[in-house]
């Protein structure tokens, strides 16, 4: 297997345009799904067990009693009704409450690479692209199951792609940062075809015992094929412009790292899982992202009110409603700002790509739209696109 940068682009400079487009996308959805009703039933059973087992300590004031979750709260606060997961039974077992994914031998494909490959194959098929003609694979996701070898290189190997691959993590903005990185390779002539794969097994970083956030996340994998316009299929999306932004914030944080280990069973190590100040995130990120979109539309000389569709990050229905309203100048309907939150939950960086994948075929030649992510860091990314045919 060759892992150095391919120089195909340099071999035929005359034939390439340096104009990046989205040739296709792919989606893998886990079969299993947890409804809010199932989730709340198991959470409340865990709460009852905890309060029963700690009754004396709670009465003495040494341990805090836990409170029930509610289906109504979850749906009203987030818009989420269900989430797909890779490992349902242990998550809704009140004695376990986290996914249990068996370790695999080193000669078996890892689970992140496996679901990434499934999404990537679909993207390749939809573009009619032979893997041999892809130059690079970026595995862009908010969590990696190991530091090395890179999941991207494993995906590259499984698909039979020559060239190079690497992993990158920008939390919920990993996919849009990946798209800009891929687009920059095309713009620079360093690659003509780049796969951006986002396997998001977010159930592994969610604290399923935390009432404030136990309902937020779900699992999925997406893939985006970014190519030079010269090699792209007839049906593609021109990339009109990409913009990235980061602003440091502790309001979404996960302290897990190679110098420590997550122990979901131990309350003392809850910071090794996803932690957030949801209200602050809501208040700070909405204006930041809306302004970023408006500024970038102005730079690209696009009328934001004329955007045909927004494929926004899928974290919270209320945030999306407010951002879409500020960008479009009116309350957006489902056609203008589709949501997949109800069935997928928050799938981190994959959310806006799922929305784009599921709700873009009906647009017409010349229609413009926006893929936009926002999340931990803070990080935000915009990809303005136009349907080419």
- The verdict on 314 binding ligand COA (CB under 6 A) reads no
**Which of 146, 279, 299, 330 is close enough to bind ligand COA by CB under 6 A?**
279
Options 120-128, 133-141, 146-154, 274-282: segment touching ligand COA (CB under 6 A): 274-282
User: What's the CA dihedral at 124, 125, 130, 131 to 10 degrees?
Assistant: 40
Closer residue to ligand COA (CB): 162 or 271: 271
- The verdict on 375 binding ligand COA (CB under 6 A) reads yes
> Distance of alpha carbon 227 from its chain centroid, rounded?
21
- The verdict on 282 binding ligand COA (CB under 6 A) reads yes
Q: Which residue in the list 98, 139, 172, 372 is annotated as catalytic?
A: 172
Closer residue to ligand COA (CB): 21 or 289: 289
- The verdict on 69 binding ligand COA (CB under 6 A) reads yes
Rounded to 5 degrees, φ, ψ at 167 are -95, 145
Which 8-state DSSP code applies to residue 190?
A: S
**Which of 58, 77, 230, 302 is close enough to bind ligand COA by CB under 6 A?**
77
- The verdict on 252 binding ligand COA (CB under 6 A) reads yes
Burial class (CB in 10 A: 0-12, 13-18, 19+), 326: middle
What sign does the dihedral 352-357-359-364 (CA atoms) show? positive
Q: How many residues make contact with ligand COA (CB under 6 A)?
A: 21
Rounded to 5 degrees, φ, ψ at 267 are -60, -30
- The verdict on 203 binding ligand COA (CB under 6 A) reads no
Closer residue to ligand COA (CB): 150 or 310: 310
- The verdict on 276 binding ligand COA (CB under 6 A) reads yes
Options 105-113, 116-124, 258-266, 278-286: segment touching ligand COA (CB under 6 A): 278-286
Cβ atoms within 10 Å, residue 291: 13
Q: How many helices (H) and strands (E) does the chain have?
A: 12, 13
Cβ atoms within 10 Å, residue 168: 17
**Which of 29, 36, 42, 78 is close enough to bind ligand COA by CB under 6 A?**
78
x/- letters, 106..145, toward ligand COA (CB under 6 A): ----------------------------------------
**Residue 67: strand, helix, or coil:** coil
Closer residue to ligand COA (CB): 3 or 325: 325
Residue 17 CA to residue 186 CA, distance in Å, equals 9
Closer residue to ligand COA (CB): 225 or 252: 252
- The verdict on 380 binding ligand COA (CB under 6 A) reads no
CB of 133 to ligand COA, least distance (A): 34
Locate tokens 């009432």: which residue?
A: 211
Pairing, β 275-276 against β 252-253: antiparallel
Known active-site residue 172: yes
Cα dist from 339 to 80, 336, 365, 368, whole Å: 10, 10, 23, 18
Residue 354 CA to residue 367 CA, distance in Å, equals 19
Residue 371 CA to residue 383 CA, distance in Å, equals 5
* List of residues contacting ligand COA (CB under 6 A): 69-70, 73-74, 77-78, 172, 211-212, 252, 276, 278-279, 281-282, 315-316, 319, 346, 375-376
Catalytic residues: 172
């Amino acid at each position: 297997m060759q892992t150095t940068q391919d120089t195909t682009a340099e071999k035929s400079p005359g034939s390439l345009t340096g104009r990046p487009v989205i040739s296709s996308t792919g989606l893998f959805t886990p079969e299993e799904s947890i409804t809010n009703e199932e989730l709340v039933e198991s959470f409340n059973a865990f709460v009852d067990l905890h309060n029963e087992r700690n009754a004396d300590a709670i009465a003495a004031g040494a341990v805090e009693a836990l409170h029930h979750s509610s289906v109504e709260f979850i749906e009203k606060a987030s818009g989420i009704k269900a989430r797909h997961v890779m490992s349902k039974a242990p998550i809704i077992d009140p004695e376990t409450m986290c996914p249990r994914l068996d370790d695999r031998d080193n000669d078996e494909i890892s689970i992140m690479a496996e679901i990434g490959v499934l999404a990537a194959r679909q993207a390749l098929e939809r573009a009619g692209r032979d893997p041999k003609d892809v130059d690079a694979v970026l595995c862009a996701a908010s969590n990696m199951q190991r530091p090395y070898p890179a999941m991207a290189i494993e995906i590259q190997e499984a698909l039979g792609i020559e060239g190079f691959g690497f992993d990158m993590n920008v939390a919920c903005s990993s996919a849009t940062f990946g798209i800009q990185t891929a687009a920059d390779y095309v713009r620079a002539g360093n690659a003509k075809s780049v796969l951006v794969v986002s396997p998001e097994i977010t159930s592994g970083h969610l604290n399923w015992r935390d009432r404030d956030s136990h309902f937020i996340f779900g699992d999925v994998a997406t893939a985006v094929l970014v190519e030079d316009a010269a090699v792209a299929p007839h049906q593609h999306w021109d990339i009109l412009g990409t913009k990235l932004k980061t602003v440091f914030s502790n309001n979404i944080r996960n302290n897990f790292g190679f110098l420590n280990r997550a122990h979901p069973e131990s309350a003392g190590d809850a910071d090794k899982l996803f932690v957030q100040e949801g209200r602050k995130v809501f208040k700070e990120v909405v204006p930041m992202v809306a302004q970023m979109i408006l500024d970038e539309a102005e730079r690209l000389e696009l009328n934001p009110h004329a955007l045909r569709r927004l494929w926004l990050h899928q974290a919270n229905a209320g945030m999306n409603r407010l951002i879409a309203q500020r960008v479009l100048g009116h309350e957006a309907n489902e056609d203008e700002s589709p949501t997949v939150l109800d069935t997928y939950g928050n799938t981190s960086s994959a959310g806006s790509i799922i929305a784009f994948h599921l709700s873009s075929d009906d647009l017409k030649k010349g229609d413009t739209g926006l893929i936009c992510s926002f999340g931990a860091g803070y990080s935000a990314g915009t990809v303005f696109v136009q349907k080419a045919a």
